Amino acid sequence: MIIIMERDATKSNIQAVIELLNSHGFKVIAHEGDVHTVIDALGDKTTLSPARIEAMDGVKQIKFIREPFRLASRDRKSEDTVIEFSNGVKIGGANRPVSMVGPCSVEENYDGLLQVAVAAKELGCQFLRGGAFKPRTSPYDFDGLGELGLQYLRKAADETGLLVVTELMDSTDLDLVCHYADVIQIGARNMQNFKLLKSVGHCNKPVILKRGPASTIREFLLAAEHIMYNGNEQVILCERGLKSFDSAFTRNLLDISAVPVIKKYSHLPIIIDPSHGTGQRYLIEPMAKAGLVVGADGVMVEVHYNPAEALSDGKQSLSIPQFKEVFAHLNTLIDTLHLEKSSTLSDVE
């Protein structure tokens, strides 16, 4: 890291910083300029909090040569992380992009959920997603069936050969959710719930981490770092849209650029969620296509057997006929992109 001292920093201020760095094993080189003194510090940043240096008299700014998300960074691992499931499904790298579909909330009509699961299997999807515990803005909205919803998800997935994705909201429910789910989802509202991130870091299930509605990409990757730091490197990132000043036509602003940016700086797989990212079902297909074209490893789309009667997010959910039409188009694109990627890798090899 590089420490820039204030213009009026005294020699004793500078020496105090140097001595602190030396005491933590850093190799230190000080450059005295006409205006500022700049200190180069080479060493293990985990041994010394940058906040401690920033609090010292005479310190103006600290700049980092490497990104703070060490475990999620391409500097640590140049090749893509690939997450593999027991049934052979793989996410990341040169593998075919995956599809995760299902209702926002699992409801009491199990037959409706099964209809969605059957259609998903017919369209080549790999995952059935749905919420059993739902974080809702209003306390009066439907907040999920709890364990019954998890049971419904598991039963429908087992009947159709799909994998289960569902959200964890509280670390006290971790064992329960792990019992039923193949993938644990951390929702956007909990992206910086560090106690929850720590808890899923200690489990052996893959985790989908959704980007917070007002978070930077660096904050997003640092949230993933919390999970990885606690032992679980099976992290799948999910871009699901940011809060925008223009909410007249879309629920959020889906940041398509986040996909190639993350691909550049991180080895973790990333999927997109155009349902939450736009809040409009007519935008699901074009935004899903855009995400896939720029390199997303999969899509997450909300599908309901009857969106008009959905207890949550019906406006951004596809009906089963709409789902079949949209995914007929998406699958054609996915096949084309996967073929191109495979051909490119073969040429390189």
For each of the domains in the chain, give its residue range(s) and CATH number, in order of start.
2-63 (3.30.70.1140), 83-348 (3.20.20.70)
Q: What does the pLDDT read at residue 172? A: 94
State residue 266's pLDDT score: 97
Task: Classify residue 72 by burial, with Cβ atoms within 10 Å: 0-12, 13-18, 19+.
Answer: buried
Long-range contacts of 111-116 (CB under 8 A, 24+ apart): 112/304, 112/305, 112/306, 113/152, 113/153, 113/156, 113/305, 114/156, 114/159, 114/160, 115/305, 115/320, 116/156, 116/303, 116/304, 116/305, 116/320, 116/323
- What was the pLDDT predicted at 42? 84
Contact 299, 274 (CB under 8 A): yes
Nearest residue to 206 (alpha-carbon basis) of 313, 328, 137, 297: 297
Spell out, as residue ranges, where the chain has pLDDT lower than 50: none
pLDDT at 1: 87
Q: Look at residue 341 in the predicted model and tell me its pLDDT.
A: 76
